[in-house]
Amino acid sequence: MYNTERLEITHAIYDDVMTWTEERAERVEMMVDIYDRVDPVSHHDLPSHTEKHHTLQHTGSVSVENRKHPAPVVCLCLLCFLLLTAVMVLCVCFTTERKQLLTHISNLTEEREQIKNKFDKLQHGLYEQDQRADNFQWIYYNFSFYYISSDWKSWSDSRLYCHQKRADLVIINSREEQEVLQKVVGSYKFWIGLKKSGKWEWTDGVTLTNGYWSYGYPRSYGDCAQMSSTGWEDGSCTYTKKFICKRTICTYSKINLSCF
C-alpha cells in the first residue's frame, strides 16, 4: 500500500510538471506572437536598415571622391583639345603660306626669265642697228644700256647727241657702276652727266652727294666732269672729249618694276 501511494504521488507530480511546462510553452508562444504583431517592420527590416545605412555612407563617400576628380580631368581634356586645335591651325597656315610662297617664287622666276629674254633681244637689236648706222657700241649693265662713243665733242654737243639716241649723258648711281665704266674708258677721258652751276649737279637736277673724284680733284679747272681710269676730273665744258650716254630700260620702285 505504501508503494501504491508513492506511485500515485509521483504521477501527480509528473502531471503537474507537464501541465506547467505546457502552460509555459503556450505563454512563450503568445508572447512571440504578440511581439511579431506589435513591431513586425522593426523586427524584420532591422538588418536591411543597417545595410542601407552602410550603403548610403559608401555611396556618399564615392560621390565625394567623384566630385574631387572631374574638374582637373575636364581641364586637362580641354587643354589637350585646344592644343590639338592650335597645332592643326598652324599646320594649315604653314601649308597655305608655303604654297603661296612657292607660287610667288615660280612667278618671279618666270618674270625674270621673260625680262632677261626681252633685254637680250633688245640689246642685240640695238647693237646691230647702231653698228649699221653709226659704227658705235652699246653695252648692257643692270637694266641700263651705255653708249661708249668714238667721236669727240664738247660737253653740250655730247649731251645733244645722247638725246638723239633717246638717252642722256651717264648719271652714276653707285660705286659698282663707277667701277664697271672705269674699266671701259681705258686711257681716254669721257664726259659724264655732271656739271657745276654753283654746285655740282647731275643732268636730272639731283645734287651730287657721293663723288668718285681722282686724287686732288676737282681743281676748279672747269664746270663739267669727265671720267678717267682713276676717277672723275673737272675740265672746261668746251673741250672736246669722248662721252658716255646712258639709256635706262627699267626703273625700280617699292610697288613694281617699270620697263620701257
Residues 128 and 200 in one domain: no
CA distance 251 to 237: 30
pLDDT at res. 62: 47
Asked if the structure places residue 53 within a domain, the reply is no
Asked if the structure places residue 44 within a domain, the reply is no
Residues 154 and 244 in one domain: yes
Residues 145 and 247 in one domain: yes
Residues 92 and 112 in one domain: yes
Asked if the structure places residue 182 within a domain, the reply is yes
pLDDT at res. 143: 86
Question: Which residues are 146's β-sheet partners?
Answer: 139, 246
Asked if the structure places residue 203 within a domain, the reply is yes
Asked if the structure places residue 13 within a domain, the reply is no
Residues 144 and 250 in one domain: yes
pLDDT at res. 13: 57
Residues 107 and 173 in one domain: no
pLDDT at res. 99: 85
Asked if the structure places residue 191 within a domain, the reply is yes
Angle at Cα 243 formed by Cα 163 and Cα 201, nearest 5°? 75
Q: Are the beta carbons of 172 and 181 closer than 8 angstroms? A: yes
Residues 83 and 194 in one domain: no
- Domain containing residue 250: CATH number: 3.10.100.10
Asked if the structure places residue 41 within a domain, the reply is no
Of 135, 168, 185, the residue at which a domain comes to its end is: 135
Count how many domains the chain has: 2
Q: Are the beta carbons of 182 and 227 closer than 8 angstroms? A: yes
CA distance 144 to 96: 38
Residues 228 and 156 in one domain: yes
Q: What is the pLDDT along the chain (260 residues), one digit of tens a residue?
A: 545 555 565 556 556 656 655 665 666 566 556 555 655 544 444 445 445 444 545 455 445 455 556 778 888 888 888 888 888 888 888 888 888 888 888 888 877 777 666 666 555 555 455 545 444 688 989 889 999 999 999 999 999 999 999 999 999 999 999 999 999 898 899 999 999 988 999 999 999 998 999 999 998 889 999 999 999 999 999 999 999 999 987 554 444 544 44
Give the side-chain half-sphere CA count within 13 A for 246.
Answer: 22
pLDDT at res. 38: 52
pLDDT at res. 245: 97
Residues 140 and 183 in one domain: yes
Residues 115 and 143 in one domain: no
Of 115, 135, 155, the residue at which a domain comes to its end is: 135
Model's pTM, two decimal places? Answer: 0.49
Q: Which domain holds residue 239?
A: 136-259
Of 108, 135, 162, the residue at which a domain comes to its end is: 135
Residues 251 and 142 in one domain: yes
Residues 165 and 214 in one domain: yes
Asked if the structure places residue 171 within a domain, the reply is yes
